[in-house]
A and B are shown apart, each in its own frame.
Chain A
Amino acid sequence: MQSSGTGQSFASPRRSRQDLVSAIVSGDRSAEAELVDWFARGLAIILSRIVKDHQTVEDLRQDSFRIAIERLRSGALRDPDALPGFMAMIARNVAIEHLRQRTPGALSATAPDPTGGPSQYHDLARKQNAAIVRKILNELPQPRDRELLYRFYIADEEKETICERFGLSALHFNRVLHRARERFRELFEKRRSGGGIVPPLDAPDR
């Protein structure tokens, strides 16, 4: 599916993939900035799934953009429509190379950990996540739903095992997850639209 390119997440209006790639090939610096603006958040998701440390994700994202821009300038991407796949591949390779260098001979992907480094911004964002989740957990009608979220997202149990344990249908399971995600998103967006990082909703962080 193609996005319209005018969604809230991306700079708007945006050049087409063809125009953007051509502009980078011709050395247009504003096109390079547009590339970064377009892919920054997505690359952070890809990298942070493979590398757990927040600061390393930042470093690897810079590396990914540097490599991508060098390759684009040299005309390595023949089909501009393949730009997202091209960017994703570079980010994956950069992350894998990082892990390979870190543990010679033993390639290992680490579990995603959004903890990241000690930056103040990051710490505050994490406190907000914790506060929103506390609110959501308190809102859940059944203690079982809290346990379900824990088992799926934290204890890493399979959906089928959880459904069997609680006597739930797959549909009900999906509904609990969906509601929690949407509620989080709602509170998260509310806070973001209220001016970026703001103090947590309720009790101070533990």
Chain B
Amino acid sequence: MDHGQIEATNLIDRYLTNRATPEECARFEEHFLDCPDCLSRLESTRGLIDGLKQQPPDTFQRRTWVGFMGWIAAAAVTTFAIFRPPPATPPPVTIPGPTLTARAGPVFTLATVRGAQADAPIVTVSGEFTLALDFEPAPGIKGFAVQVTSGTGEQLMSEVEHPLSASGTIGIGLRSQDLKPGLYRAVVVGKSVDGRELQRVIFPFRFQVP
């Protein structure tokens, strides 16, 4: 394993974000345990990811929008051109937080294994169903935000305040008619009392109609 190959295949990023294959992971671990350079890059990339996770949730979205508006304003002043706004993304659907005790339809339990898309569990269902997101809450978590997004980033469901469940399982209700066949991700963000993000768990799943 050489550094050109590590760089060319984004191995450090893929390793830390669980996108590398088990074989790649094993070979890379053997390498970086004896490579100060890779070890240092792994630590700093992990710090970068950690720092990104700690930014307030609106950091990325709001600034993008402000940047876009600034660009529109500047362009309008200088050229008076007519701009077509970007295609509007449908507003996120907010579904009241259903619990496992008040579920409708079948329940699909998702484990927190990430990796290749092919590994995502397949949910085949029609009508209403519940996704049971099973994980261990980190210490200090007081509540969760839950989102379901499609593989292209469209938000299907967003729930900003989901109470902490004693079992560590979060149940979310969905309707199959709201989903197109394809890859989705349920993202659970654990928050502290003062709303800081302490934990983020991602559950990929593939939806298909029966």
Chain A residues within 8 Å of B, Cβ to Cβ: 1-3, 5, 7-10, 39, 41-43, 45-46, 48-49, 52-53, 84-85, 87-89, 92, 102-103, 106, 108-115, 117-118, 125-126, 129-134, 136-137, 142-144, 146-147, 149-159, 161, 165, 174, 177, 180-181, 184-185, 188-189, 206
**Residues on the A chain within 8 Å of B68, using CB:** 143
**Residues on the B chain within 8 Å of A92, using CB:** 26, 29
Q: Is the CB of A110 within 8 A of B54?
A: no
**B46 at the A interface (CB under 8 A):** yes
Q: Which of B12, B47, B204 contacts A129 (CB 8 A)?
A: B47
A1-B1, A42-B33, A137-B59 as given contacts; A118 in contact with B48, CB under 8 Å: no
Contact with A along B131-164 (1 / 0, CB 8 A): 0001110111000000001011100000000000
Q: Is the CB of B49 within 8 A of A150?
A: no
Interface on chain A toward B: helix, strand, loop, or mixed SS?
Answer: helix
Chain B residues within 8 Å of A, Cβ to Cβ: 1-3, 10, 12-13, 15-18, 26, 29-37, 39-56, 59-61, 63-64, 66-68, 111-114, 117, 134-136, 138-140, 149, 151-153, 185, 187, 196, 198-202, 204
CB B8 to nearest CB in A, in angstroms, measures 9
**Residues on the A chain within 8 Å of B139, using CB:** 53, 117-118
A8-B36, A9-B36, A113-B199 as given contacts; A177 in contact with B13, CB under 8 Å: yes
- Cα A96 to Cα B45 in complex, Å, equals 24
18 A-B pairs within 8 Å (CB atoms) are namely A1-B35, A2-B34, A9-B40, A52-B138, A109-B113, A109-B114, A110-B112, A110-B136, A114-B47, A114-B50, A126-B54, A133-B54, A137-B55, A147-B61, A151-B153, A157-B151, A159-B10, A177-B13
